[in-house]
């Protein structure tokens, strides 16, 4: 990374590509007696990140997919956000380098908001994902495509 140059990477699009939500608890009159409680401590999360760089290396597409579920499979959420990034001229960082950590970090708040919103709309306590250490995630998680 050249610290003397400006960043020349721009966001072309942020797209919600897929949002699946399923819960086993049926909505009925019982919902008025008690709100469905989610034990957020027991939630599990799977991450999948896919990167595609154009042949001219001026456009990058990053797909960030997050699955959240509990052990009993009473709640399943899958959210996939796509970010399209472009670089018009040489800058402080190239798109390939940007795609490793920065692009997924940029997309994560969009995933967090969608997951929080969909759980709240479902009458559940909203799931608010904590910040993630993306560098550690990229290094430790074999599911992540590099």
Where are the domains positioned within the chain?
Answer: 9-140
pLDDT for position 142: 46
| CA angle, residues 64, 46, 77, in degrees to nearest 5 | 80
Tokens linked to 25: 């608890």
Say if pTM beats, i.e. exceeds, 0.95. Answer: no
| Spatial distance between the Cα atoms of 130 and 146, rounded to a whole number of angstroms | 23
Superfamily of structural domain 9-140? SecB-like (3.10.420.10)
Whether the per-residue pLDDT at 29 is higher than 90: the answer is no
For the chain, the C-alpha Rg in angstroms (whole number) is 18
According to DSSP, residue 83 is labeled: E
Whether the per-residue pLDDT at 3 is higher than 60: the answer is no
Tell me the pLDDT band of 41, cut-offs 50, 70 and 90.
Answer: low
* Residue 68 CB contacts under 8 Å (≥ 6 apart), including other chains: 43, 44, 45, 75, 76, 77, 78, 115, 127
Tell me the mean pLDDT in the region 96-100.
90
pLDDT for position 74: 82
Tell me the mean pLDDT in the region 131-142.
76
CA 130 to chain centre: 12
């Amino acid at each position: 990374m050249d610290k003397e140059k400006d960043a020349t990477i721009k966001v072309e699009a942020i797209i919600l590509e897929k949002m699946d939500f399923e819960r086993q608890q049926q909505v009925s009159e019982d919902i008025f007696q008690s709100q469905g409680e989610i034990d957020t401590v027991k939630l599990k999360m799977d991450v999948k990140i896919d990167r595609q760089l154009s042949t001219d290396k001026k456009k990058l597409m990053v797909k960030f997919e997050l699955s959240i579920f509990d052990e009993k499979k009473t709640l399943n959420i899958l959210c996939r956000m796509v970010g399209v990034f472009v670089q018009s001229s040489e800058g402080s960082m190239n798109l390939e380098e940007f795609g490793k950590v920065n692009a997924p970090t940029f997309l994560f708040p969009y995933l967090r908001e969608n997951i929080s919103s969909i759980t709240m709309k479902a009458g559940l306590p909203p799931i608010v994902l904590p910040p993630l250490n993306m560098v550690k995630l990229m290094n430790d998680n074999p599911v992540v495509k590099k």
